[in-house]
Amino acid sequence: MPRPLLALLILPLLMSCGGNAPDKPVKNDVLAADTFKWEVDQFGDVRVIRYTVPGWEQLTLQQKKLAYYLSMAGLSGRDIMWDQNYRYNLQVRRALEKILGDYKGERAGANWDAFMLYAKQIFFSNGIHHHYGMDKFTPGFPREYLEQLISGSGAALDTKVVDILFDPSVDAKKVSLDRDKDVVLASAVNFYGDDINAKEVEAFYKAKAQPGDTTPLSYGLNSKLVRGADGKLKEEVWHIGGMYGAALEEVVKWLQKAAEVAENGQQRKAIELLIEFYRTGDLKTWDAFNIAWVQDTGGTVDFIQGFVEDYNDPLGKRGSFESIVEVIDPVATKNMEVIQKNAQWFEDHSPLLPEHKKKKVVGITYSFINAVNEAGDAAPSTPIGVNLPNADWIRKVYGSKSISLGNIIEAYDKSSGQGSLKEFCYDQAEIDRAVKYGSLGDNLHTALHEVVGHASGQLEPGVGNPDATLKSYASTLEEGRADLVALYFLMDPKMVELGVMPSLEVGKAEYDSYIRNGLMVQLRRLKLGDQVEEAHMRNRQWVSAWAYEKGLPDSVIVKTVRDGKTYFHIRDYEKLREIFGQLLREVQRIKSQGDYQAGHDLVENYGVKVDRALHEEVLKRAENIKTAPYAGFIQPNLVPVTDANGEITDIKIGYPEDFIGQMLDYGKRFSFLPDTN
Ligand code: ZN
């Protein structure tokens, strides 16, 4: 099942505190300067960062309205995600909101600080369980202190809920995948009635499925499964008039406005189908919406909304409410189009053996977008790339949309500061190149990898599907092949000639970063003693390690140890490009001929094993940079400007700095569900 690509970047920590700067709209030319404050808060194991929306001012009023209405629709469903995560989350959140707003006692001291940490963690995770680790948060203050805050603010929290917050044994995990337990009973998530077990759920849905159905519905996607008065299981469907109806009514109000300003008929059709789905809860309409959505490719504004990803359900059936509103990234999209138009030139000039080149290569479509607003399951923690819809049969028949969230990736990049670069770069020139050209280099790498890389090359006649011939090595070899296409052309003067990069310095920055990461930095994601398993990590290592070894006689990449710290320094970029070309030709040969043994040897000899001493060193150096492993975002504020008649004449974008401030604001504006549902 396709999943959002989670941001696995591990980035250095910048200490800062939650600011209280006024929420002023900021012009984009101001943002281009280095003065924008990317990271605004840090607590527990998370960082809170901000992202900007480049090009917002260039949108038409109609496009701005569309993005605004879709954002309001998404935010209106925010409560749903809280309630889905745990049945008492809304009650807890409202108590926190009341305390933060109205507590009259002293707001200082160790207990208050521990309470603030607890509150921030809950807001960040949309509930009392860690958004990623799934464990229930432990309050770092005594129960009596919470009771004091409650009575001193007029907040309301049932005693039984307070009991749960302070009892580590109750509802300890949001989602448990522990095979020794019944995963439904052991998970606290609010998708199933209290006494329902996994076996019953499976039996319930087995009875619904029709064998041989080529267009199966996403059974269970939009309901809670409960036991009726007759003892039989039944679905409480999430729709207007049913469960979560009060929030969905608000969502639909805004979607109706969005439909009126849709950019084209196909987009309007998609929005109207989503409205119908929320009204009826009919899963056939959900499929119809997804088909209309995947065929809507003409607009500048796009969106993801609904009960989408199912990984919060231990049985992978029920979808969490999420919303992402996006606009096309004009610069990255222009670069991608230029590369796509020249896909045949790249194929003709690639170092592949002539018989492995495609005579007619068609670039793959891929979108670079900028997020405008995220809500529900997509906020504050967000994916950096998405591939939807999830239903396999729709993907097969109608295709899918693949997107990279450019401004989110940029914010990760910029907010990380220079700590990691300073620790792992060989010299100041390498740091400067990374600061100046790193983002563009990454961006063009992704474009070449996705648009040209995966589309390039052909199999020899009679050679079967690589999944069959190369088996478990197929995926890392394919990812490495696409990387090598990108690397080879990132140092090609053609890229400058096409106008997508100002000079080959961009290519050099990308080479530096690839080698640094592939030979060294990415090891910090592994535990000591582990080998490299993940396909992308493997391919970065085998590409880099093979190139390093082949370049040894000419000192192409030089390994230096300074003050006990290892550095890999590229001495000859031209020669390294040739080496990447040789390896690309060989990997394409392996794929084109289905040469399992050669693929096995390449991956096993260069991509799997870890140098223990270097690994230990990298882990130690990574610790110096002190990294919060998770990050999430404050959303931009969209503020309509109206004339005397109340007509919207513009929509201004602002970038708030105060995480808790935004959470309290959302609590006031977008809270539509009762405490328990
Ligand atoms: Zn790929």
Ligand 1 centroid distance, CA of 483 (Å):
8
3-state secondary structure (DSSP) of residue 569: strand
Distance CA 399, CA 290 (A): 10
Tokens representing 655? 């970038």
pLDDT at residue 18 in the model: 27
Number of Cα atoms under 13 Å in the Cβ half of residue 141: 19
pLDDT at residue 627 in the model: 67
Q: For the residues 233-261, what does the mean pLDDT come to?
A: 98
Ligand 1 centroid distance, CA of 623 (Å):
30
Ligand 1 centroid distance, CA of 478 (Å):
7
Q: In this prediction, what percent of the chain has a pLDDT beyond 90?
A: 78
Ligand 1 centroid distance, CA of 587 (Å):
15
Ligand 1 centroid distance, CA of 536 (Å):
8
Ligand 1 centroid distance, CA of 9 (Å):
17
Lowest mean pLDDT among 332-346, 404-418, 487-501, 661-675: 404-418
Ligand 1 centroid distance, CA of 457 (Å):
14
Ligand 1 centroid distance, CA of 635 (Å):
29
Name the residue type at position 215. Answer: T
Ligand 1 centroid distance, CA of 12 (Å):
26
Model confidence at 80, pLDDT cuts 50, 70, 90, reads very high
Model confidence at 113, pLDDT cuts 50, 70, 90, reads very high
Ligand 1 centroid distance, CA of 506 (Å):
21
Ligand 1 centroid distance, CA of 346 (Å):
17
Beta carbons within 10 angstroms of residue 419's beta carbon: 17
Tokens representing 536? 């992308």
Whether the pLDDT of residue 256 is over 90: the answer is yes
Whether the pLDDT of residue 656 is over 70: the answer is yes
Distance CA 3, CA 322 (A): 13
Model confidence at 34, pLDDT cuts 50, 70, 90, reads low
Ligand 1 centroid distance, CA of 454 (Å):
7
Q: For the residues 586-602, what does the mean pLDDT come to?
A: 97
Q: How far is CA 2 from CA 124, 251, 468, 475, in A?
A: 24, 26, 21, 15
Ligand 1 centroid distance, CA of 476 (Å):
9
Distance CA 569, CA 174 (A): 45
Ligand 1 centroid distance, CA of 480 (Å):
8
Ligand 1 centroid distance, CA of 481 (Å):
9
Distance CA 244, CA 238 (A): 6
Q: What is the pLDDT of residues 543-583, one digit of tens each?
A: 999 999 999 999 999 999 999 999 999 999 999 999 999 99
Burial of 661 (0-12, 13-18, 19+ CB in 10 A): middle
Cα angle: 366, vertex 367, 368; to 5 degrees: 130
DSSP track, 38-105: -EEEEETTEEEEE---TTGGGS-HHHHHHHHHHHHHHHHTHHHHHHHH-TTHHHHHHHHHHHHHH--S
* 173: Cβ contacts below 8 Å, ≥ 6 apart: 129, 134, 135, 136, 186, 187, 188
Model confidence at 409, pLDDT cuts 50, 70, 90, reads confident
Strand bridging mode 630-634 / 637-642: unpaired
Lowest mean pLDDT among 34-48, 68-82, 164-178, 294-308: 34-48
Ligand 1 centroid distance, CA of 108 (Å):
50
Ligand 1 centroid distance, CA of 467 (Å):
15
Model confidence at 138, pLDDT cuts 50, 70, 90, reads very high
pTM over 0.75: yes
Q: What is the pLDDT of residues 501-519, one digit of tens each?
A: 999 999 999 999 999 999 9
Ligand 1 centroid distance, CA of 64 (Å):
32
* 473: Cβ contacts below 8 Å, ≥ 6 apart: 596, 599, 600, 603
Ligand 1 centroid distance, CA of 617 (Å):
30
Q: For the residues 575-593, what does the mean pLDDT come to?
A: 98
Ligand 1 centroid distance, CA of 436 (Å):
25
Q: How far is CA 462 from CA 180, 459, 469, 521, 598, in A?
A: 46, 8, 12, 41, 19
* 157: Cβ contacts below 8 Å, ≥ 6 apart: 91, 92, 95, 146, 150
Ligand 1 centroid distance, CA of 145 (Å):
51
Ligand 1 centroid distance, CA of 192 (Å):
37
Model confidence at 386, pLDDT cuts 50, 70, 90, reads confident
Ligand 1 centroid distance, CA of 607 (Å):
17
3-state secondary structure (DSSP) of residue 489: helix
Whether the pLDDT of residue 14 is over 60: the answer is no
Ligand 1 centroid distance, CA of 304 (Å):
22
pLDDT at residue 27 in the model: 35
Tokens representing 458? 């052909």
Ligand 1 centroid distance, CA of 72 (Å):
34
Ligand 1 centroid distance, CA of 449 (Å):
6
Distance CA 486, CA 339 (A): 11
Ligand 1 centroid distance, CA of 631 (Å):
24
Whether the pLDDT of residue 436 is over 60: the answer is yes
Stronger pLDDT, 181 or 35, i.e. the higher one:
181
Distance CA 64, CA 134 (A): 37
Ligand 1 centroid distance, CA of 453 (Å):
8
Q: Which residues pair with 639 in a beta bridge?
A: 652
| Average pLDDT value for the chain | 91
Ligand 1 centroid distance, CA of 269 (Å):
32
Cα-based torsion angle of the residue sequence 651, 653, 654, 655 in order, rounded to the nearest 10 degrees: 150
Ligand 1 centroid distance, CA of 330 (Å):
22
